[in-house]
Amino acid sequence: MLGVPVRFPGEAPNLPPAAQQPDWPDRAALHAATAELASLPGLVAAAESDALRDRLARVARGEAVLLQSGDCAESLDGATPERVGGKFGLLGRMAAVLTEGSGLPVVQLGRIAGQYAKPRSSPLETLDGVTLPVYRGDLVNGCDFTARDRTPDPSRLIRAYGAASATLGMLRELTARHGTELWTSHEALVLEYERGLTRTTPAGTYDLSAHLVWIGERTRALDGAHIDFAAGIRNPVAVKLGPTTTPDEALALVDRLDPERRPGRLTFITRMGAEAVRDVLPDLVAKVTADGAEVVWVCDPMHGNTFTAPSGHKTRHYDTVIDEVRGFFEVHRALGTHPGGIHAELTAEDVTECLGGSCAISPDEVPDRYESTCDPRLNACQALDLAHELAARYVRHLDGA
Ligand code: PEP
Ligand code: MN
């Protein structure tokens, strides 16, 4: 059989509950789309996922650094040579800065070729007395505030496959031409898409939609469907850990997702917020380390530091982002563990979504070029600032400072 049977909420007893799933109105169209996904070739090869796990094992052992970044939400029409080339170029420039500073190889992992679905705080949105389903990412519906756009449309699962495939094709050409490695990742959120691209091979069961998938902060319940899904695939997987995570929860996630304790299998992406990172992170790292598990620890300094600008746009300040990065390094240096790297939302486009940085974006400028359909991203200037800041953290360590 190709694929794993698609399970729908309420169709079978004893299935773990799935949070954050779209309410697809056309079930027949959904079944047709998932059946089509199951008939298509995987987007990546299982052996490539294994190779990424090997690279991540080096990060877990402190021999390499992980740079994971890209859009908050990719758009289905973003699979153009200009856009993909821009993302590839920026990641490469950041990696070069980081390698130079850290003296360590950098594992480049894009939030790319599949980052099309978003968890939301509310299923509905009301504007001027009209209530519609919330935008859940291009995988599910459109962003415009019209009933037509906002109705979850299963044909988007197939369009997303096409956009991811086109993006991967361009990335394969670019990496071959430049002699580099780059891996793909996204949040495994919409389970119809992930299960539709999961294949059981002689080597085991893999989600062939990306090399690595992660489970988000809102869907990481231990008894939920997303962790259940991640436990069943052999890809390297990651989990976001927010400030309410307890050390016991972190250890339970290790037991569930990495029972064999294979370095590189599990990455924890911590997104505590600059205010909490120094208080909350030490106990998590200490508990997991005492257990002997070799996980990769990565800092997401974006998602705990979002606030609303005077213009009403969601934004983040570069200085706060850097403060969380510094806290992350302080905690790991104090415990003698490896600060494995960074997970960031950024773009090569010249946007004005985040404040500060050496380009000094001010609150007045935020509306000027705000193109993200979800969270604010660092622009190229701020992204390179971040790479230099990270490089400096690693250099100081090498110097013994
Ligand atoms: C994201 O990475 O875009 C996201 C929604 O993150 P989190 O799950 O950490 O909130
Ligand atoms: Mn985001």
Domains of the chain by start residue, with CATH: 45-117+171-399 (3.20.20.70)
Whether residue 11 is predicted with pLDDT greater than 80 in this model: the reply is: no
Burial of 22 (0-12, 13-18, 19+ CB in 10 A): buried
CA 269–ligand 2 middle distance (angstroms)? 13
CA distances from 139 to 72, 155, 170 (A): 13, 9, 20
Instruction: Kindly report, residue by residue over 205-219, the tens digit of the pLDDT.
Output: 999 999 999 999 999
Which ligand 1 atom sits closest to the C-alpha of 374?
3
pLDDT of residue 285: 98
Any bridge partners for residue 106, and if so which? 65
CA distance 175 to 181: 6
Task: Please state, in angstroms and rounded to a whole number, the distance separating the CA atoms of residues 376 and 353.
Answer: 5
Does the pLDDT at position 58 exceed 70?
A: yes
φ, ψ (nearest 5 deg) of residue 335: -90, -10
Length of the chain: 401
pLDDT mean across residues, the chain: 95
Q: Which of 303, 316, 353 to mutate to test the pocket of ligand 1 (most atoms within 8 A of CB)?
A: 303
pLDDT at position 399 is 63
The per-residue pLDDT for 15 is 79
Least confident range from 6-10, 42-46, 64-68, 167-171: namely 6-10
Give the whole-angstrom CA distance, residue 289 versus residue 30: 43
Mean pLDDT, residues 290-316: 97
CA of 112 to the centre of ligand 1 (A): 14
Please report which confidence band the pLDDT of residue 266 belongs to, taking 50, 70 and 90 as the band edges.
Answer: very high
Is residue 395 very low, low, confident or very high in pLDDT (cuts 50, 70, 90)? confident
Q: 73 CB less than 6 Å from ligand 1?
A: no
pLDDT tens figures, 79-105: 999 999 999 999 999 999 999 999 999
Q: Is 34 helix (H, G, I), strand (E, B) or coil?
A: helix
| Mean of pLDDT values over 343-359 | 97
What are the pLDDT digits (tens) for 127-157? 999 999 999 999 999 999 999 999 999 999 9
Average pLDDT for 45-68 = 98
Residue whose CA is at the smallest distance from ligand 1 atom 4: 216
Indicate whether 29 pLDDT > 90: yes
Would you say residue 71 has pLDDT above 90? yes
For ligand 1, whether the C-beta of 271 sits within 6 Å is yes
In which residue are the tokens 């390179």 written? 384
